[in-house]
Each structure stands twice: as C-alpha cells, then as structure tokens.
C-alpha cells in the first residue's frame, strides 16, 4: 500500500463512521465486509503484510492477492454514518445480504446482533418475537431436534431435509409415529406426515442403526409451526416420542433464534 493511499484526516472527518468491503480483483468478488472510522479500511492490508503466517481466511486472501501482483480493492459501501451503533446495523445488514445470496465471506462473525435482528425468513422472525405454546397434539408424533446446522433463513426444503434424518429411533417407535416435527431452539419449524422409513447409507452412520423418513408436509398441523415446545427437550436429548399424543406446551418465553 502506497503512502498516498492513506485517508487524510480532513477526509476522515467527512467520512465519519462507514461500512466498507474488501474485493478480490482477480474475480471481482467481495470477500470481507467491515465497519470503521478514520483509516480503518486500510488496516487489513497492513495487518496482512505484518503477519504473513496468519491462517485466517481474510489475511490469507489478501496475501494471495498481493502475491499475484495486484492490490486489494478497497470499497466504501456507505459513508457519513452518524454513530458506531448505526454503523454496526448497516454492517450486519450488508453481511446478511451476502449470506442470503449464498456468497461466502471471510468474516469470522455474522455481524452485530445478527442472531436477534438479522437474516431470517418471515416465519423465523415471527417465532423470535411471538412463539406461543404448542397446543395439544392428539396424533402419535415424534419431535426431532434439528438445531445443529440450523439457520434462520432455511427454506422449506432445507427444513424437511434436516428433519427427515438420520436418527437412532427404535423400530416400534417408527411403526407407530404418524407425524414428525422438526424443532430448532425449542420452536416447531416443520411438520410432516411420515410415510416410510429407510436405513441411513451415510458412511459415518455405518453400524449405528440410524434411520430417515420419507414424508410430506402436513397441512393439518400447519397451526403448530412457530409454536414453542421447549419443555419437551430437557438436557441434550435429540428427539422425543409422544405416541399417545403431546399434551401441549407451557409458556416459557420467546425464542433465542
């Protein structure tokens, strides 16, 4: 980075807080989004030059770009932001927009309060703020915790794929279960009829007697979506069976995700 690339003090005063991006000139893709003030936009390039052994993806990308003989593209996305709090909000929204487009970034975190206010589908947002207790379910149902890998922007197909398997569920339970609910952070995310079961063919499931199911969305249970069943999942259990029906949930507050 040449000396004249630094931001003069009088320009920094006008820029105030800002949100910026680092772009790879080799493919024209943004690989990092951040917020800053003063000369912050240049700090990453200086850090890369001073720490060639760093394994972080952002620094590694900068080093690779500079090794190709090109400078990193430094882009301002929004300048003139009045305060740091607002800059955090803009930064988080931009990062989430890239994630919504399945565009990978090297940011280690998703942004300020992304889990509470960031990228999410409409049902997930409603569940964050108004997760009513799940009413009684008279049908034989199993609840499957899909928390590992859960994203608030998952579409219906992704929720079904996460719910359908694979699980360590006894044969007598599989024989009786008519419905399956996908649960993440205590909230019902998907409700399905169970048509049949199949043994997992994943190599990591070999010898573990894990099963997946084939089914369809259950419109008759659509009123359960977005309700909470936190009291049904004590400790670290991954699934619960209610083959004589589920008695209904207690009101335990709003969702965490």
Please choose, from the candidates 29, 63, 70, the residue with its C-alpha nearest in 3D space to the C-alpha of residue 49.
Answer: 63
Residues with Cβ within 8 Å of 65's Cβ and at least 6 positions away in sequence, in order, are 24, 25, 26, 71, 72
pTM: 0.73
Q: Please state whether the peptide bond connecting residue 166 to the residue before it is cis, i.e. omega within 30 degrees of 0.
A: yes
Mean pLDDT along residues 11-25: 89
Distance CA 80, CA 18 (A): 6
Q: Whose structure tokens read 């609840």?
A: 143
**Residue-level pLDDT at 213:** 97
126 pLDDT tier (thresholds 50, 70, 90): confident
Higher pLDDT, 254 or 239: 239
pLDDT score of 197 more than 90: yes
DSSP 8-57: PHHHHHHHBEEEEEEEETTTTEEEEEEEESTTHHHHHHHHHHH-TT---H
pLDDT score of 51 more than 60: no
Mean per-residue pLDDT of the chain = 86
Q: At what angle do helices 40-50 and 57-67 cross, to 10 degrees?
A: 80
pLDDT in tens, 137-194: 999 999 999 988 888 889 999 999 999 989 999 999 999 999 999 999 999 999 999 9
**Residue-level pLDDT at 53:** 43
pLDDT in tens, 211-229: 999 999 999 999 999 999 9
- Chain centroid offset of residue 187 CA: 15
Please choose, from the candidates 124, 110, 102, the residue with its C-alpha nearest in 3D space to the C-alpha of residue 34.
Answer: 110
pLDDT score of 114 more than 70: no
DSSP 208: S
54 pLDDT tier (thresholds 50, 70, 90): very low
pLDDT score of 56 more than 60: yes
Contact criterion met (CB below 8 Å) for 31 and 38? no
**Residue-level pLDDT at 49:** 57
Which H helix or E strand runs over 153? none
């Amino acid at each position: 980075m040449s000396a004249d690339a630094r931001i003069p003090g009088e320009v920094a005063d006008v820029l105030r807080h800002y949100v910026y991006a680092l772009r790879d000139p080799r493919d024209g893709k943004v690989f990092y989004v951040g917020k800053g003030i003063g000369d912050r936009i240049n700090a990453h390039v200086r850090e890369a030059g001073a720490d060639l052994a760093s394994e972080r993806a952002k620094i590694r990308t900068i080093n690779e770009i500079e090794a190709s003989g090109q400078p990193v593209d430094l882009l301002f996305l929004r300048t003139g932001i009045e305060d740091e709090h607002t800059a955090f909000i803009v930064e988080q929204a931009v990062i989430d927009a890239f994630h919504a487009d399945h565009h990978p970034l090297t940011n280690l975190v998703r942004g300020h309060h992304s889990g509470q206010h960031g990228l999410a589908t409409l049902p997930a947002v409603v569940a964050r703020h108004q997760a009513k207790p799940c009413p009684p379910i008279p049908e034989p149902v199993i609840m499957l915790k899909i928390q590992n890998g859960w994203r608030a922007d998952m579409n219906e197909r992704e929720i079904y794929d996460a719910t359908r398997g694979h699980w360590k569920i006894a044969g007598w339970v599989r024989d009786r279960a008519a419905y399956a609910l996908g649960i993440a952070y205590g909230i019902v995310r998907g409700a399905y009829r169970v048509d049949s079961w199949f043994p997992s063919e994943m190599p990591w499931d070999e010898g573990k007697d894990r099963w997946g199911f084939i089914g369809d969305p259950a419109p008759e249970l659509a009123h359960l979506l977005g309700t909470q069943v936190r009291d049904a999942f004590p400790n670290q259990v991954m699934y619960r069976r209610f083959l004589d029906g589920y008695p209904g949930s207690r009101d335990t507050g709003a969702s965490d995700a």
